Amino acid sequence: MSENIITTCETFPLIGDIAPKFNAITTNGKIKFPDDYTGRWVVFFSHPMDFTPVCTTEFLAFQAAYNDFRKLNTDIIGLSVGGLPSHLAWFRSIHDDIKFQDYKNVEITFPVIADIDLSIAKLYGMIHPNISDTKTVRAVFIIDPKGIIRTILYYPQTTGRNIAEILRVLVALQTNDAFGVSTPADWEPGLPVIEPVPQTVSDMQKRIESANKNKHVQSWYLTFRELPKTKIYEKLYKGKK
> Is 9 in the active site?
no
**CA-to-CA distance for 123 and 103, rounded, in angstroms?**
33
> Contact at 8 Å (CB) between 121 and 136?
yes
Report d(CA 144, CA 212) in Å as an integer: 39
Helix (H) or strand (E) run with residue 170 in it:
helix 163-179
Cα(121)–Cα(125) distance, integer angstroms: 6
Angle at 205 between CA 202 and CA 208, to 5 degrees: 155
| From 19, 31, 42, 55, the catalytic residue | 55
- Secondary structure (DSSP) of 63-123: HHTHHHHHHTTEEEEEEESS-HHHHHHHHHHHHHH-EETTEESPPP-S-EEE-TT-HHHHH
What crossing angle do the helices spanning 229-237 and 163-179 adopt, rounded to 10°?
90
User: Which active-site residues does the annotation give?
Assistant: 55
